Amino acid sequence: MENILVLTHVDESGNALPKIALETLAAGRDAAAALGCNLTVGIIGANVEAAAGQVAGCGVRILALAGPEFAQPRYSSDAAAAEALCLAANASIILAPATSRFARALPGVAHRVGGQIDTHISGVTANAEVSASRWFYRQRMEAVLQRVHRPWFLLLESGVHAPWQGTAGSPPIENIQVNLPQTRTIVTGVCAPKSDQQTIRPDAKLLFVAGAGWTKKQRDGQIHAADAEQLISGFLRESGASLGSSKSLVEQSGENQAVLKFMTHLNQVGQTGSTPRHPMGLSTCCHGEEPHVVGWRFIHERRAINLDPNCGWARGKADILYVADAFQVMKCLNALIADKTLQAV
């Protein structure tokens, strides 16, 4: 019989589980229920009580590896902790969230315990057997995988399962001990942009895509890149949307054309860019050509603003196309949001 371990770590605040961990837990619960097998949760962090309390309503065995040395991501301590939890749970299937922390540490852990690992998992199903799905060839082909080898590690992507929700409490926690190897890496701090400067926000409800039209000559024959920057950054700040881009726009910086300073290649959506998963998307000043729109395959509700009624979005690629000037629409939208915020104050 399988023994499923949902392995996770606390988030950067140090006292909660990341949303992706709750999604992984929900996937683990479904699989354990379908197979009628044991489910254990393993948590790594400096203090794990609050995080364990979040999953109390699950009613499953909780193992923890806690201590100040597990506060920060570091391969040697994370791998040692994860290995100890896998062994303590005697796990045959380990489901873990694909956080950068685990993406780095768990392949090594799989090797240490003689297991095998599959990453970028976009779904787990269990009937008589456990199957995992993942996309290949830039999200064009979906494969369904099964393995006979155990332990089998699966790193689940975010947004592929609804997060587990349940009552919090103070569940019993079994603390596991591990002898850490001598560490050469000391984490002295984290340098990261402020969260409001971070434009890629995988958990945002809305994907806002900017296309090259924002930096092209407008009706008055002039380029208005500074206005575009102000409108877009204002909207992102107030709405919390994630920023995507067309390839043409991100490539302009290398071609000495007008650019939006906060845009990088990481924002590019499409065939040679990313395939984000947000419930809604709003495309602006972007033509909606096929190599771009293939990156929208997981966006449920799609809207676009374009001056051209014959743009790609009009050909069945958007649910709603607003044939309008995006400069004017975003100006009105920002004013409406500001008005609403003022009313709320």
Output 28 or 288, the one with its CB closest to ligand FAD. Answer: 288
Question: Taking a C-beta distance cutoff of 8 angstroms, is the pair 282, 324 a contact?
Answer: no
DSSP code string of 248-308:
HHHHGGGGTS---TT--GGGBBSTTSB----SEEEEES----HHHHGGGTT-SEEEEEES-
Question: Taking a C-beta distance cutoff of 8 angstroms, is the pair 124, 132 a contact?
Answer: yes
The structure tokens 């809207």 sit at 303
Output 75 or 262, the one with its CB closest to ligand FAD. Answer: 262
- Give the count of residues interacting with ligand FAD (CB under 6 A): 30
**Minimum CB distance to ligand FAD, residue 321 (Å):** 10
**Contacts to ligand FAD from residues 117-176, by CB under 6 A:** none
**Minimum CB distance to ligand FAD, residue 303 (Å):** 13
Q: Does 271 bind ligand FAD (CB under 6 A)?
A: yes
Instruction: Give Cα separations from 14 to 18, 55, 145, 184, 209 (angstroms).
Output: 10, 16, 34, 23, 33
**Minimum CB distance to ligand FAD, residue 331 (Å):** 11
Q: Which of 9, 101, 161, 247 binds ligand FAD (CB under 6 A)?
A: 247
Q: Does 115 bind ligand FAD (CB under 6 A)?
A: no
SS3 175: strand
Q: Taking Cα atoms as reference points, which of 336, 338, 341, 310 lies closest to residue 323? A: 310
**Contacts to ligand FAD from residues 199-218, by CB under 6 A:** 211-213, 216, 218
Q: Which of 152, 153, 296, 327 binds ligand FAD (CB under 6 A)?
A: 327
**Minimum CB distance to ligand FAD, residue 198 (Å):** 21
Q: Does 272 bind ligand FAD (CB under 6 A)?
A: yes
Distance CA 288, CA 311 (A): 7
Of 4-12, 154-162, 258-266, 322-330, which part binds ligand FAD (CB under 6 A)?
322-330
Of 85-93, 116-124, 323-331, 337-345, which part binds ligand FAD (CB under 6 A)?
323-331
Question: Taking a C-beta distance cutoff of 8 angstroms, is the pair 35, 2 a contact?
Answer: yes
Distance CA 202, CA 210 (A): 17
Q: Does 52 bind ligand FAD (CB under 6 A)?
A: no
**Contacts to ligand FAD from residues 282-321, by CB under 6 A:** 285-287, 289, 291-292, 295, 305-308, 311
Output 164 or 235, the one with its CB closest to ligand FAD. Answer: 235
Paired with 280 in beta bridges are: 206, 301
256 burial level (CB within 10 Å; 0-12, 13-18, 19+):
exposed
Output 113 or 307, the one with its CB closest to ligand FAD. Answer: 307
Instruction: Give Cα separations from 102 to 81, 155, 268 (angstroms).
Output: 11, 8, 25
Distance CA 5, CA 37 (A): 11
Q: Does 276 bind ligand FAD (CB under 6 A)?
A: no
**Minimum CB distance to ligand FAD, residue 276 (Å):** 12
Output 53 or 288, the one with its CB closest to ligand FAD. Answer: 288
**Minimum CB distance to ligand FAD, residue 29 (Å):** 36
Q: Which of 92, 246, 252, 334 binds ligand FAD (CB under 6 A)?
A: 246
Residue 151 identity: P
Residues at the contact surface with ligand FAD, assessed by CB under 6 A: 211-213, 216, 218, 246-249, 268-273, 285-287, 289, 291-292, 295, 305-308, 311, 325-327
